[in-house]
Amino acid sequence: MINLRRGKFGLLMVLLLTVSLIALGCGGSEKDEAAENGQAEADVIKIGVYEPLTGTNAAGGQMTVEGIELAKQLYPEVLGKKVELVIVDNKSEKQEAANAVERLIGQENVNLIIGSYGSSLSMSGGPIAQDNGIPVIGCSPTNPAVTLDNDYYFRVCFIDPFQGTVMSNYAVNTLGAKTAAIIQDVQQDYSVGLASYFEKAFVASNGEGSIVEKVNYNTGDKDFSAQLTAVKATNPDVIFAPGNFLECGILVAKARELGITVPILGGDTWEAEEFLNQVKDYQDIYFSTHFTAEEPVTPVSTIFLDEYAKAYPDKPANAFGALGFDTYILALDAIERAGSADPEAIKNALAATEGFEGATGIITLDENGDATKTAVIKKVEGGQFVYETKVDPK
């Protein structure tokens, strides 16, 4: 009896495998059908979105997708055709990200792709899009290597070198710092990148030896007393500690507990509720970000803020949502300028983007496809994020 049941179950699994294979095979024939019905297809412009909706980076991916969907509700058409969003999850895994992009191109026949949160995910999708000649616009991958050597990858956020330099200039010019200490998360490309460019800019202004201490920690660490004690002993004017909001929240709170009162600086990842909850009793905490609600940089910012408040009344507007929003409207703008949905034409139009007004600022894409735009500096004061100043690119 048991044997019989086992046999049946085995049969079921084999059946499942067969069905899977057939379904995978069917994708191809669907594509052929689509090609035959080319006339009907032409009324729709397909934009693929690959973002981490599950896994470790899910929070960021979801915020971005909210922004993209909001923009789509506002502007559902371009060139008189309907826009269709195809959103796929990349599970915060590199091989899934590669599969997702290949799927968007091979099965869904998209004209353009948006994504992804997380530089390493974008780097695994990039080469596939390049091989197939489909342009991609990244919302928030800040690692310089993403667009390097890839003519088809663009992005609306600024990159790590710019952010690190901005924070260094702010520390030197506004906070009057002569010495600095760096606390970095060696496992995060983001943290290492920011720290490295902060160091370069800071040393350029204050000379060799002005970085008095550089200590490391790893993602997931919860105890930072050793690093902070080492930093405290050198008595720097400022501390630069870019990294995840989770670890940095604990780190900054611990620093204040240990009696370190000097300003602590960070990057755009700090703009998160979880970070604020940890540090809301403290001050002199500064970070750079893409966007501010208090000081709309462009008219589009106002539109975004109003619509976001309407669509998500219980959530404050965030930078990732704004970047998602910008990516979508930039995509539409490029398609309009290209005058067709041809990927090659869209790519050329994107490369020529200059002075585009987005919610996060005025975007000009340089020869690498990176955005040069205004950075915003915010600080923590009275338990809230408060707008401090903005820094224009040179």
Provide the binding-site residues for other proteins, judged by CB under 8 A. 5-6, 9-10, 13, 16-17, 19-21, 23-25, 27-28, 31, 53-54, 58, 87-89, 93-96, 98-99, 102-103, 105-107, 120, 123-124, 126-128, 131-132, 143-145, 148-149, 186-189, 191-193, 196, 216, 218
Q: How far is the CB of 33 from other proteins (least distance, A)?
A: 14
Q: How far is the CB of 269 from other proteins (least distance, A)?
A: 14
Q: How far is the CB of 54 from other proteins (least distance, A)?
A: 4
Q: How far apart are CA 170 and CA 132, in angstroms?
A: 42
| Edge-to-edge order in the sheet of strand 356-358 | 356-358, 361-365, 371-372
Close Cβ partners of 303 (under 8 Å, ≥ 6 residues apart): 74, 359
Comparison of 15 and 386: residue with beta carbon closer to other proteins: 15
CB–CB of 115/136 below 8 Å?
yes
Comparison of 145 and 250: residue with beta carbon closer to other proteins: 145
Q: How far is the CB of 163 from other proteins (least distance, A)?
A: 15
Comparison of 187 and 372: residue with beta carbon closer to other proteins: 187
Structure tokens at 382: 């009275």
Residue corresponding to tokens 């960070």: 266
Comparison of 15 and 79: residue with beta carbon closer to other proteins: 15
Q: How far is the CB of 188 from other proteins (least distance, A)?
A: 6
Comparison of 123 and 297: residue with beta carbon closer to other proteins: 123
Q: How far apart are CA 174 and CA 142, in angstroms?
A: 25
Comparison of 218 and 234: residue with beta carbon closer to other proteins: 218
Structure tokens at 353: 């983007």
CB–CB of 324/71 below 8 Å?
yes
Q: Which amino acid is at 160?
A: D
Query: Sign of torsion, CA 194 196 199 203?
Result: negative
Close Cβ partners of 42 (under 8 Å, ≥ 6 residues apart): 81
Comparison of 126 and 267: residue with beta carbon closer to other proteins: 126
Q: How far is the CB of 310 from other proteins (least distance, A)?
A: 19
Q: How far apart are CA 219 and CA 211, in angstroms?
A: 23
Q: How far is the CB of 24 from other proteins (least distance, A)?
A: 6
Beta bridge partners of 357: 362
Comparison of 145 and 258: residue with beta carbon closer to other proteins: 145
Q: How far is the CB of 123 from other proteins (least distance, A)?
A: 4
Residue 293: strand, helix, or coil: coil
Structure tokens at 62: 């979801």
DSSP 272: S
Structure tokens at 52: 């981490």
